[in-house]
Homo-oligomer: A and B are copies of this chain.
Amino acid sequence: MIPSGPELREALAEAGADAWLIFEFHGLNPVARRLLPLSGLNTRRLFVLLPAEGEPVAVAHRIELHPLTGFPGRVLPYSRWEELHAALGTIVAGRRLAMEISPEDAVPYQDRVPSGVVELIRRLGGTVVPSGALVSRFASRWTSAEAEDHRLAAEILAAVAREELARAVGEAGSGLRETEVQRRVISAATARGLVFDTPPIVGFGPNSANPHYEPQPGQDAALEPDQVVLLDLWAGRRLDTVFADQTWMGFAGKRPPARVTEVWETVRRARDAAIATVQEAARAGRPIAGFEADRAARGVIEAAGFGAAFVHRTGHSIDRDLHGSGPHLDDYETHDDRLLLPGVGFSVEPGIYLAGEFGVRSEVNVYLGTAGPEVTPREPQRELIVAD
């Protein structure tokens, strides 16, 4: 629902703003899609002002007033661009406005407003400040129903991953291809009621060292004995709810070499260090930002001498978008100083990628529910899945 009342006032005061100004045009701002009860075509510029005091105001094109039926406030329609500027001027002049911006693109997920729109707001007398904390609070938090959808998806994915990895690692040398494992995973999870938006990642041997590898039919690898097997899968109960996103690791032999075991143990410890940091902050009642959890995981990997091989952030926000609008666990690709507020969820997925050899990633999700940080699935992977 549209944020309002004391919670909005409090959040605006914390953000140093008089109002939240949400801009939307052709889907460029996921926050608008999340917060506003928009339906139908949205092909013209829409501004929605949520002030600390007074009623909400929408500035909307006359041919697209229909999606605003039931809007809890005033609607200022425009047709000509001069009318748009005039209407906008009346709501922004002299105000401090929180918008989806991020100075110098520090957090690109939060940097959603085109430069010309910010110029226009400023020329009309508004001051623009980042809305990051408002987005985490109102757009990225899971509902309890979404948390339940996520938990269910998480347990199904974990069961499927365990089963299909155990099956695959026993078939080395048989010609088993990456796309066949992909197909089996989709089939097994779909049979248990999940939907995918994208096929899972399955990487054998050196392909596991490419963090975003996607097997292509006809060009995918066949599993050789003693290869590492990486399975990264994300799916949910519906496309419009919160997905689960996990990575599981297998080894196509009975005894992984010491180097594989060392890398696996390092990644697992890094994953658990990030989780522990979030849990300790929650126990102490201390606010914690996304970048701190990244540092905890990265510290473990750097201390083990693999720092240069951990080439991505530790985790990403998960909400109705797999790469969500909330805080990421990141002090690497960005310095994400947004707080891990109650109600948000994210992935924890450190990895070590040794080009030409193999890669290892372990991924679970964390939901900051009312009972504190909750890790999904309930039983994260402890040991590599190896051949019988």
Give A contacts to B, CB under 8 Å.
Answer: 25-26, 28, 40-41, 43-45, 61-64, 66, 79-81, 101-106, 108, 111-120, 123, 198, 210-214, 311-312, 323, 332-335
Q: Considering the complex of A and B, which 10 residue pairs feature the smallest CB-CB distances, nearest first?
A: A105-B116, A111-B114, A111-B116, A115-B118, A63-B211, A115-B115, A104-B120, A102-B116, A79-B311, A105-B117
A79 with B332, Cβ < 8 A, contacts A66-B213, A213-B66 known: yes
Given contacts A80-B332, A101-B114, are A108 and B25 in contact (CB under 8 A)?
Answer: yes
Bound: A13/B123 CA distance, A: 30
A63 touches B115 (CB 8 A): no
Measured between alpha carbons, how far is A335 from B81 in the docked complex, in Å?
A: 8
**Smallest distance from the beta carbon of A125 to chain B beta carbons, Å?**
13
A40-B212, A311-B62 known; A81-B45 Cβ under 8 A: no
Complex contacts, A64 vs chain B, CB 8 Å: 212
**Cβ–Cβ < 8 Å partners of A25 in chain B:** 108
Nearest-neighbour CB distance to chain B for A110, whole angstroms, equals 8
The answer, among B106, B117, B211, for a CB contact under 8 Å with A111, is: B117
Please tell me if the beta carbons of A108 and B114 are within 8 angstroms of each other in the complex.
Answer: yes
Q: Which residues of B lie under 8 Å from residue A112 when comparing CB positions? A: 28, 114
CA distance A28 to B79 in the complex (A): 25
List of B residues within 8 angstroms of A210 by Cβ: 63, 66
The SS class assigned to the A binding surface is: loop
Residue of B at shortest CB range from A332?
B80
Number of copies: 2
Provide the bound-state CA to CA distance between A116 and B214, in Å.
31
Q: A334's closest neighbor in chain B, by CB?
A: B81
Nearest chain-B residue to A30 (Cβ)? B26
> Are A44's CB and B117's CB within 8 A?
no
B212 touches A41 (CB 8 A): yes
With both chains docked as a complex, state the minimum distance between the C-beta of A192 and any C-beta of chain B, in angstroms: 25
In the complex, the chain B residue whose C-beta lies closest to that of A42 is B212
Q: Verify B333–A61 contact, CB threshold 8 A.
A: yes
Residues of chain B within 8 A (CB-CB) of A62 are: 311
Chain B residue with the shortest CB-CB distance to A106: B116
A333 and B104 contacting across the interface, CB-CB below 8 Å: no
Q: Which residues of B contact A63 (CB under 8 A)?
A: 210-212, 311-312
Residue of B nearest to A211 (CB): B63
> Closest CB of chain B to A322's CB: distance in Å?
9
Q: List residues of chain B with CB within 8 A of the CB of A312.
A: 61, 63, 79
In the complex, what distance in Å separates the CA atom of A43 from the CA atom of B241?
20
* Residue contact B43 to A79, C-beta cutoff 8 Å: no
Bound: A31/B293 CA distance, A: 36
Chain B CB within 10 Å — which of A25, A114, A123 has the most?
A114
A327 CB to closest chain B CB, in angstroms? 16
- Please tell me if the beta carbons of B108 and A123 are within 8 angstroms of each other in the complex: no
A299 CB → nearest B CB, Å: 15
Report 29 cross-chain contacts, Cβ distance below 8 Å, ordered by A residue: A26-B323, A41-B198, A41-B212, A41-B214, A43-B212, A44-B333, A61-B333, A62-B311, A63-B212, A64-B212, A66-B213, A80-B332, A81-B106, A81-B333, A81-B334, A102-B116, A103-B119, A104-B119, A104-B120, A104-B123, A105-B117, A105-B120, A108-B114, A108-B117, A111-B115, A111-B116, A112-B114, A114-B115, A115-B117
